[in-house]
Structure formats: C-alpha cells, structure tokens
Amino acid sequence: MAYTQNVTDSCLPECGVARFLALLNGPWATLVVRELLSGTRRFTELRDALPGISPHTLTNRLRQFEKYGIVVRTAYPEIPPRVEYRLTPLGEGLRDVLDAMNTWALSIPEPVPAQ
Amino acid sequence: MAYTQNVTDSCLPECGVARFLALLNGPWATLVVRELLSGTRRFTELRDALPGISPHTLTNRLRQFEKYGIVVRTAYPEIPPRVEYRLTPLGEGLRDVLDAMNTWALSIPEPVPAQ
DNA sequence: CAGAATCCTGTGTGATACTG
DNA sequence: CAGTATCACACAGGATTCTG
C-alpha cells in the first residue's frame, strides 16, 4: 500500500473501513462532502466555504467523487458558466459517517492534546 | 492548512469532522484503530494484522494516538519485552464511527469503479 | 520482541498564473 | 465563473539496518 491505495484501476478493498479510506482520502475530501451535505453547491461556493483549499485540490476531489459516484456534476451552458455539484444517494449516505465523527469529537474532553 | 494540519502544537479545529480528520490522519491510522477495537494487542500482533504496514509507521501512529488519549501503552518489564496497546474510553468511542464507515461501504453498488 | 535510526518515495496539497 | 497548467513542498509511509 503506497501512501494512498491506488483504487483508480483496481477493485476496492474488502473491508468497509478500508473502502471508506480509499475513497475519502486526504484531509480535504471529507470536508468537501461535509459542505455538499448542506445541499447543491457551485464551485466557488465550495471554495469559499473551505478556507485554504486551492482550486487545484477542489477540482481533484470533485473529479474523484464524480468518478466514484458520490457526486454529480451538472454544467449549464451559460455565459458565464455555471456548474453545480450535488451528492448522489450514495454520497448522501455519508451523512451518517460524518455525524458519527462529529459526535465522537464532542466526546473529546480537552482541546487535546492538553499537553 | 498544510498537507496535514499541524495539530501537535495547536488546538483542535472547531468542527467535529475536522477534528476527527486531524487526529486520524493518513490511511493507516483508522485501520490501526480498527484492529484495537477487537481488544488489546501487542506490537507484533498489530503489525501482522495490518499487512504492509512498516514498524516505522505503526510506531508513529501508536505514539500519536497515545498522545491524544486514544490509546494506552503498557510495557511489561520482562525479557523479552512485552508491550500492549489498548483503546481508552475515548478510543472505544470510535467504534461508532468505524461502524458507520462499514455500513456506508456496504451500500456501494459495484466494486467501484465498475470499469 | 519492540522498537529506533536513517534514507528515500509517493501524493495530496499550495501558490501562482492563465484561459474558454 | 470554473476551472487548467506548472512548479514546488510537506508529510505519511516504505525499506533497511540495528539494538536493548
């Protein structure tokens, strides 16, 4: 396993946890999903909602999600262009996972590490 | 935010999801937790249960978990040495998150990407 | 057995500039 | 607006060797 498992041209791992990690890899991926859980978003809206993310990274994550069927990209042939991203039902299913993360984080006693 | 947010010498992010990502960073971290959810494990047992992980990486993850109060390390002064790792109550709380990941992964229709 | 030390690599990401 | 292109970097991780 390299830094990130190559899932592009191979099948997903057996273990569900490993599958999740293979698809939502990197620090930004899950945060992008978090934003999309609020509803359909445009490229700029996502970028603005995720302070620090570069267009390069945002594009990469969205493209990957699209490929895996987590996100649907809709481009409107207008000028200026308008593109909207929304979660598929599969992507919507990630809400439970993110909720679990959130719930767990609330159980952290201190602003760890309390040193 | 660098590649991975530096949480070592700063406070955790506000958002729970971001907190989770800051503490369980990298592809191996969550898998180590997955193994420990089955019970106390020795160093070698973890290494063997995680095919491909290097002692270097395993050590790093365990040390980080220890620092964050997710894992407790117990060294027995024997020869040969014996060291056991077990989850703290905080670490046990991660079970719900991993379960959610697993459940979600089961909803993936195909061995994505089907092609 | 349970690592520590050293060196190296892969890749997610950042910064900046540019385009249809 | 919604990206793409290019260069460069930080850090998780791998391989190997070695030790109390």
Does the pLDDT value for residue B115 go beyond 50? Answer: no
- pLDDT tens string A5-56: 445 445 678 899 999 999 999 999 999 999 999 999 999 999 999 999 999 9
Check CB contact under 8 Å for B23 and A112: yes
Nucleotide nearest to B3 (CA to C1'): C13
In chain A, residues with a C-beta closer than 8 Å to the C-beta of B23 are 112
Would you kindly state where each structural domain of chain A is located, as residue ranges? 16-106
Q: Is A1 on the interface with B (CB under 8 A)?
A: yes
Q: Give the pLDDT of residue B38.
A: 97
Q: How confident is the model at residue B5 (pLDDT cuts 50, 70, 90)?
A: very low
What average pLDDT does the segment A67-87 reach? 95
Check CB contact under 8 Å for A17 and B27: no
Q: Give the pLDDT of residue B61.
A: 98
Q: Give the pLDDT of residue B10.
A: 55
Nucleotide nearest to A46 (CA to C1'): D2
| DSSP secondary structure, B11-42, as one string | PPPSSHHHHHHHHS-STTHHHHHHHHTTS-EE
The domain defined by A16-106 folds into Arc Repressor Mutant, subunit A (1.10.10)
CA dist list (Å): B48 to A53, A62, B45, B55, B72:
37, 35, 5, 10, 20
Check CB contact under 8 Å for B3 and A27: yes
Mean pLDDT score of chain B: 89
- pTM metric for this prediction: 0.90
CA dist list (Å): A26 to A30, A38, B19, B42:
8, 21, 14, 28
CB of A81 within 7 Å of some strand C atom = yes
Q: Give the pLDDT of residue B25.
A: 95
- pLDDT tens string B34-88: 999 999 999 999 999 999 999 999 999 999 999 999 999 999 999 899 999 999 9
Q: Does an H or E element contain B55, and which?
A: helix B55-67
What average pLDDT does the segment A77-101 reach? 96
What average pLDDT does the segment A80-103 reach? 97
In chain B, residues with a C-beta closer than 8 Å to the C-beta of A105 are 12, 15-17, 19-20
CB of B37 within 7 Å of some strand C atom = no
Q: Give the pLDDT of residue A47.
A: 98
Check CB contact under 8 Å for B104 and A20: yes
Q: Give the pLDDT of residue A114.
A: 44
Q: Give the pLDDT of residue A13.
A: 82
Q: Is B31 on the interface with A (CB under 8 A)?
A: yes
Check CB contact under 8 Å for B27 and A1: yes
C-alpha to C-alpha distance for A9 and A30, rounded to whole angstroms: 22
For residue A86, give how far its alpha carbon lies from the nearest alpha carbon of chain B (Å). 17
Residues 52-71 of B with CB under 8 A from A: 52-53, 67-69
